[in-house]
């Protein structure tokens, strides 16, 4: 079988090397680019993200990647958002004021209430049957965030409890977002990342 | 439930990983990347690399080391501290491969910059480092650049109260490197109860880890020298710590 090629959407913010190294360890090819022609040639698009929402969406817009991602969603191309990358998929965020997101998945990003931070390893519970997540129910993954997605139940796949209950994975067709970092979640994370990328490609 | 963390700490001086004793004596351990690979393989919850000479020598963050660590394909979260002076430095550290940053000298010299850093990389990615001692029931904050300690004032903690930093790394600098030496009063006396703490410096024993993690405010313990002495030290410690607040050992390894 041909190697899967994952296109990491490079908008100048975030830590691409971790994701790239993990994908390489999973024997996947990886392209990091902001050029449509390069990303068009990939099997799955991956939107990473570490940091604050507003600078990230501004950076996407500055490179016209917001438009590109909309076009790819319209073409039903597979897209995986990780951490802030998942939040960017939503319609808007309330981090540091109100900021419009990509709007690829209905819902908004709101502050965690108590505790304000969610940093460390926590378990995800599958709340909607989805073959991509079947091996990850009750597995622990690494989280590092203070905002979380809130949206319609039909897009919720996994939830996590940390003081309050929040949505830790979402899906709309071939668009998937995970609030945690599978690339930094050791064996469980690598297994899920493989499942997600292979599953999205074949979905 | 959010698990509490066992953080493997790698202290780096002049590019080399060292065993550090009380912020004044150092013994070489080798290349930081080998220690990082071990901690990754042994299942640490997080790896913290502290470059202790970057601020002192005004060198800025060690991006070369970070790129080297980033190229290893570690599957464990990486936090970096040392030499971060600006928000741009912090962003460069994240882009070079770290998930989180520690701010130390800037916390004292220009606390307003901590807010700028958190605005750019997200406050959840920012840890404030506080080398402390407890003298006659009073917390003293060490200025490690001058070597002088002064009482920890409420104003010193504004970056934490205003959500510029999400966690505080409490370093028992006097007992760093001394087995079982961490002074629990540093945790008991810490005045901000809503700030998650990482206890570091003289943390070595399973019972001590259990006790520290038993404090609601302690989110993690940092362990440095003591993880460098034996193979699979993290997993062995996990097996000995009788607390379901941490992740269970993922595998068991022999010496």
- What pLDDT score does A1 carry? 57
Q: ipTM value of the model?
A: 0.91
Distance CA B209, CA A111 (A): 31
Closest by Cα among A67, A93, A74 to A9: A67
Q: Which domain covers residue A61, as residue numbers?
A: 5-202
Contact B70 A18 (CB under 8 A): yes
Helices A16-25, A186-202: axis angle to 10 degrees equals 80
Check pLDDT > 80 for residue B249: no
Distance CA B33, CA A22 (A): 17
Active site residue A198: no
CA A75 to chain centre: 19
Please state the rounded mean pLDDT for residues B225-242.
82
Among A24-33, A143-152, B85-94, B232-241, name the one with the lowest average pLDDT. Answer: B232-241
- Measured CA distances, A135 to A194, B2, B195 (Å): 11, 20, 34
Using the Cβ of A118 and the Cβ atoms of chain B, whether some distance falls under 8 Å is answered with yes
Burial class of residue B142 in the structure, from the number of CB atoms within 10 Å of its CB (0-12 exposed, 13-18 middle, 19+ buried): buried
Among A32-46, A145-159, B222-236, name the one with the lowest average pLDDT. Answer: B222-236
- Measured CA distances, B46 to A91, A95, A133, A166 (Å): 32, 26, 24, 23
- What pLDDT score does B230 carry? 77
Please state the rounded mean pLDDT for residues B13-33.
93
- DSSP states along B104-141: -HHHHH-THHHHHHHHHH-GGGEEEEEEEEEETTEEEE
Q: Identify which of A14, A24, A146 has the shortest CB distance to residue B73.
A: A24
Using the Cβ of A113 and the Cβ atoms of chain B, whether some distance falls under 8 Å is answered with no
The overall average pLDDT reported for chain B is 91
Residue of B nearest to A20 (CA): B73
- What pLDDT score does A116 carry? 82
Please state the rounded mean pLDDT for residues A168-179.
98
pLDDT band at B243 (very low <50, low <70, confident <90, very high): confident
B64: CB partners within 8 A, 6+ apart: none
Active site residue A195: no
- What pLDDT score does B252 carry? 39
pLDDT in tens, A41-97: 999 999 998 888 999 999 999 999 999 999 999 999 999 999 999 999 999 999 989
- What pLDDT score does A131 carry? 95
Let me know: does B132 contact B139? Beta carbons within 8 Å: yes
Closest by Cα among B107, B95, B85 to B169: B107
Please state the rounded mean pLDDT for residues A109-131.
91
Let me know: does A107 contact A149? Beta carbons within 8 Å: yes
- Provide the shortest C-alpha distance from residue A92 to chain B (in Å): 17
Number of domains making up chain A: 1
Residue B211, SS3 per DSSP: helix
- What pLDDT score does B251 carry? 54
Chain B contact probe: residue of A117, A123, A124, A192 with most B CBs at under 10 A: A117
Check A83, A95, A118, A158 and give the catalytic one.
Answer: A83
Please state the rounded mean pLDDT for residues A10-37.
91
Q: Which residues of A touch B4 (CB under 8 A)?
A: 120
Please state the rounded mean pLDDT for residues B5-15.
96
CATH number at residue A129: 3.40.50.880
Check pLDDT > 50 for residue B253: no
Let me know: does B131 contact B102? Beta carbons within 8 Å: no
Chain A contact probe: residue of B99, B127, B193 with most A CBs at under 10 A: B99
Name the more confident of A177 and B42: A177
Contact A14 B95 (CB under 8 A): yes
What would the two tokens of residue B246 be?
């941490």
Question: What is chain B's percent helix, strand, coil content, to nearest 5?
Answer: 30, 30, 40
**CATH fourth-level superfamily of B5-240:** Aldolase class I (3.20.20.70)
Active site residue A83: yes
- DSSP states along chain A: -PPPEEEEE--S-S-HHHHHHHHHHTT-EEEEES-HHHHHT-SEEEE---S-HHHHHHHHHHTTHHHHHHHHHHTT--EEEETHHHHHTSSEE-TTS-EE---SSS-EEEE--SSS-EEEEEE-EE-S--GGGTTTTT-EEEEEESEEEE--GGGEEEEEEESEEEEEEEEETTEEEESSBGGGSHHHHHHHHHHHHHHHHH-
Let me know: does B250 contact A187? Beta carbons within 8 Å: yes
- What pLDDT score does B254 carry? 39
Q: Which residues of B touch A50 (CB under 8 A)?
A: 94, 99, 121-122, 125
- Provide the shortest C-alpha distance from residue B58 to chain A (in Å): 25
pLDDT band at B255 (very low <50, low <70, confident <90, very high): very low
Q: Identify which of A116, A122, A190 has the shortest CB distance to residue B1.
A: A122
Instruction: Report which secondary-structure segment, H or E, holds B210.
Output: helix B206-214
Check A42, A145, A158, A181 and give the catalytic one.
Answer: A181
Residue B199, SS3 per DSSP: strand
- Measured CA distances, A98 to A11, A54, A72, A179, B184 (Å): 21, 9, 25, 20, 42
- Measured CA distances, B20 to B78, B142, B167 (Å): 20, 16, 23
Q: Identify which of B43, B120, B163 has the shortest CB distance to residue A55.
A: B120
- What pLDDT score does A18 carry? 86
Distance CA A177, CA A161 (A): 17
- What pLDDT score does A152 carry? 98
Distance CA B42, CA B230 (A): 11
Distance CA B48, CA B80 (A): 6
């Amino acid at each position: 079988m041909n190697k899967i090629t994952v296109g990491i959407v490079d908008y100048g913010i975030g830590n691409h090397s971790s994701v790239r190294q993990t994908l390489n360890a999973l024997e996947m090819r990886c392209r990091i680019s902001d050029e449509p022609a390069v990303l068009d040639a990939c099997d799955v698009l991956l939107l990473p993200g570490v940091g604050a929402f507003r600078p990230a969406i501004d950076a996407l817009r500055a490179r016209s990647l917001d438009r590109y991602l909309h076009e790819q969603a319209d073409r039903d191309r597979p897209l995986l958002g990780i951490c802030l990358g998942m939040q960017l998929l939503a319609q808007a965020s309330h981090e540091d004021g109100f900021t419009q997101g990509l709007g690829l998945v209905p819902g908004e990003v709101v502050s965690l209430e108590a505790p304000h931070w969610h940093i460390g390893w926590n378990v995800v519970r599958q709340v909607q049957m989805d073959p991509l997540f079947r091996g990850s129910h009750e597995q622990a993954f690494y989280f590092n965030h203070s905002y979380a997605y809130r949206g319609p139940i039909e897009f919720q796949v996994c939830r996590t409890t940390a003081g309050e209950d929040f949505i830790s994975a979402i899906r709309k067709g071939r668009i998937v977002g995970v609030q945690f970092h599978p690339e930094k979640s050791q064996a469980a994370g690598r297994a899920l990342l493989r499942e997600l990328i292979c599953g999205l490609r074949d979905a | 439930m959010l698990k509490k963390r066992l953080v493997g700490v790698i202290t780096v001086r002049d590019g080399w990983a060292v065993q550090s004793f009380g912020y004044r004596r150092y013994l070489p351990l080798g290349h930081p990347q080998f220690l990082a690979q071990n901690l990754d393989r042994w299942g640490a919850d997080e790896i913290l690399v502290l470059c202790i000479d970057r601020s002192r020598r005004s060198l800025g963050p060690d991006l070369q080391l970070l790129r080297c660590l980033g190229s290893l394909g570690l599957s464990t979260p990486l936090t970096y501290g040392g030499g971060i002076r600006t928000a741009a430095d912090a962003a460069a550290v994240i882009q070079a491969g770290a998930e989180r940053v520690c701010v130390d000298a800037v916390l004292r010299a220009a606390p307003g910059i901590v807010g700028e850093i958190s605005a750019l990389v997200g406050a959840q990615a920012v840890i404030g480092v506080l080398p402390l001692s407890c003298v006659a029931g009073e917390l003293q904050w060490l200025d490690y650049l001058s070597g002088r300690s002064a009482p920890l004032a409420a104003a010193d903690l504004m970056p934490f109260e205003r959500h510029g930093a999400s966690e505080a790394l409490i370093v028992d600098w006097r007992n760093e490197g001394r087995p079982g030496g961490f002074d629990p009063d540093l945790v008991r006396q810490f005045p901000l109860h809503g700030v998650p703490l990482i206890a570091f410096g003289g943390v070595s024993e399973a019972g001590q880890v259990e006790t520290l993690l038993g404090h609601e405010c302690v989110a993690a313990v940092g362990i440095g020298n003591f993880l460098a002495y034996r193979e699979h030290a993290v997993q062995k410690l996990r097996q000995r710590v009788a607390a379901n607040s941490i992740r269970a050992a993922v595998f068991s390894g022999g010496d």
